[in-house]
Chain A
Amino acid sequence: MDDLTASATAPALALKMRDIAFAYARTQPPVIALAQLDVRAGERLFLRGASGSGKSTLLGLIAGILSPQAGTIEVLGEHPQQMSASKRDGFRAERLGVIFQIFNLLPYLPVGANVTLPCRFSAARAKAADAAGGIDTEAKRLLSRLGLEADSVWSKRSTDLSVGQQQRVAAARALIGRPGLILADEPTSALDANSRDAFIQLLTEECDAAGAALIFVSHDAALASHFDRGLDLADINTAMETA
């Protein structure tokens, strides 16, 4: 795996975590104690965890919003921990796509503006979307790929959409500009079983098409079959054992 460190060519690992320890305060017990976690480029990883198992904290660490007290995190060949705070924010805007549980969208922006928002914070993603035919065209293509009628929803307020539609818009926003890693934090928890399966199907297909790795966290073990690999957070996060 030595040849997989950051280089001019695309790294073979989208995520490499080693000996991670994280607590919200030094006086509190650790929330994450993780010896190793690797995700290959383009891999679709399912991470199961019960409520309070540290799923969202782990995603915060991967996104570089939280910093571990110990250990190293390598994301898409880069070391966000070693970057300045503003570079880390820039790196996240450029290379990561994030989908939340619910209420993913900014209520005051129409659907189109919500999808293209990452391109406003990252020139690289704007460039990538532009290269794919233009920012708006790419956004509409993604919306269509995710099963929405792009032209009819484009100018709608996000609050006028159903929860299922909102999640698809959020997925399109995470995917625009071809980020290398998509983090999805319980994105299907508010969907019924049919909508959930359809959404995961579309998401994984689009990640494949974009060549992005996907880390999908959920408490629902039944979803594991949709992914290349499934892990139980309880198996890798030893902090929960000591807690």
Chain B
Amino acid sequence: MARFPILTLALRSISNRAGTALLTILTVAISVTLFLTVEKVRHGARASFENTISGVDLIVGARSSSVNLLLYSVFHIGDATNNITWDSYQAVANAPGVAWTVPISLGDSHRGYRVVGTTPAYFEHYQYGGGRALVFAEGRSFETLFETVIGAEVARALGYQLGEEIIVAHGTGAVSFIEHDNNPFTITGILAPTGTPMDRSVLVSLEAIEAIHLEGPTGAGTGLSVEELEAMDLTPNAITAFFVGLDTPVVALRLQRQVNTYPTEPLQAIIPGVALAQLWGIVGAAERTLAAVAAFVVLTGLVSILTAVLTSLNERRREMAILRALGARPGHIFTLLVTESAGLALAGALLGTALTYAGLAGFSPLLEARFGILLPTLVPGLYDLAIIGTVTLASALLGAGPAWRAYRNSLADGMTIRV
């Protein structure tokens, strides 16, 4: 006690009021936990959102708005304003600087899940979560005409296994009136969960999409046999959109301009990261509101410390007078109270941080699997230290009010306690 008598006194004084102190610490801990959890999930949600697709330099579709193109091509929400011709696709695919392209054809569904017509290159180039490739939980890519690969959620929700046959329907509703039931697809692969719209997708080959629409878009499918169909040239005339990978990202802006000014057909190229950020700007308002609410909860926690210190002031005036008589300076009294409120806040913030990380460690697999939220890191970092520091400092500042009152009391009371 000799070196830091006030610190020791503050700790002893707090432990003397252990019940109240614990409740105060718990209040701060809960508010810090809520704030940090919201922050972590918020950043995780944003990062996961912006990483819904990665490794793709450009997405090209019919001219509309960039957010619309992103929504239907990546999130499978809404519809394309128009298709783009195979010739235009080929023209861009063969442009200098283009390393690879993956075409997609949308418009059909299976029990509410979007069907994506594409090529096996999709599995090779589509990435999410900052460079994570698609992985097959079971099976393999589609190879022959009426084979399909389904996303993790499709398999889980509908209880599908490898080898089962499914019917693709025209349109995108959960209930379809026109089913291409002449041509069932066999499931050859089930993708591992990604937390992206991929989990809710059914992937087939472009040729299969062409085949089931040979007799018009609204028919039951084609009556031709698989052998007959495979002998045919099923190259589509039009596709919905395509993903582009470039040799070097510096080409992106030039190619984007070339696509956007393509004379033969009105096309549009978007850079996924930019469009995702634009989209987040629209949907992010809720997330910012949540953060603001969490910040207010922290403020409530701090006010609870202020209340605890203030209510203890009157009953502690005698304690202050005794300390003064023993030689404690008014500054000591001030420091004692500020140390107490800062100490309570520090303990609460540390406990809150520990609770947050323990909770996140326990729930992060669930968050990833069910909501597709990838938490960036589960080790406390500078941000958490800054939060702990801010809460402690704010509490010390709040504690300065009652501390000043105690200081004034101790000056006025002297050794006489007029309570």
Contacts and interface: CB of A to CB of B under 8 A. Distances in A.
Chain B interface, >50% SS class: helix
Nearest to A114: B322
Interface in B1-48: 1-2, 5, 9, 12-13, 15-17
Contacts of A119: 2
A100 interface: yes
Contacts of B331: 86
A166 to B, nearest CB: 12
Nearest to B3: A120
Contact of B414 (A65, A85, A93): A65
Contact of B415 (A94, A98, A105, A120): A98
A108 B325 contact: no
A56 B1 contact: no
A108 B2 contact: no
B1 A89 contact: no
A104 B319 CA distance: 8
Contacts of A105: 322
Contacts of B1: 113, 120
Interface in A118-137: 118-122, 126
Interface residues on B, range: 20 to 34
A92 B331 CA distance: 15
Contacts of A71: none
B328 interface: yes
Given A113-B1, A121-B5, A98 B414 contact: no
Contacts of A117: 326
B324 interface: yes
A72 interface: no
Contacts, number: 73
A108 B15 CA distance: 8
B416 interface: yes
B12 A108 contact: yes
Contacts of A92: 325, 327
Given A65-B415, A100-B415, A109-B12, A120 B2 contact: yes
A60 interface: yes
A106 B323 CA distance: 9
A107 interface: yes
Nearest to A108: B16
Contacts of B5: 120-121
B329 interface: yes
Interface residues of A, number: 33
Given A107-B16, A108-B15, A57 B329 contact: no
Contacts of A172: none
A105 to B, nearest CB: 8
A224 interface: no
A111 interface: no
A98 B322 CA distance: 9
B326 A93 contact: yes
Nearest to A65: B414
Contact of A121 (B12, B15, B327, B415): B327
A12 interface: no
A108 B13 contact: yes
Contacts of A120: 1-2, 5
Interface string A31-48: 000000000000000000
B140 interface: no
Given A56-B416, A118-B326, 18 more contacts: A56-B415, A59-B415, A60-B414, A63-B414, A65-B325, A65-B415, A85-B329, A89-B329, A93-B327, A93-B328, A94-B327, A100-B325, A106-B12, A106-B322, A106-B323, A108-B15, A120-B1, A185-B415
Interface of B: 1-2, 5, 9, 12-13, 15-17, 318-319, 321-331, 414-416
25 contacts: A56-B414, A56-B415, A60-B414, A60-B415, A65-B324, A65-B415, A85-B329, A86-B329, A89-B328, A90-B327, A92-B327, A98-B325, A98-B415, A100-B321, A100-B415, A105-B322, A106-B9, A107-B16, A107-B319, A108-B13, A108-B16, A113-B1, A121-B326, A122-B327, A185-B415
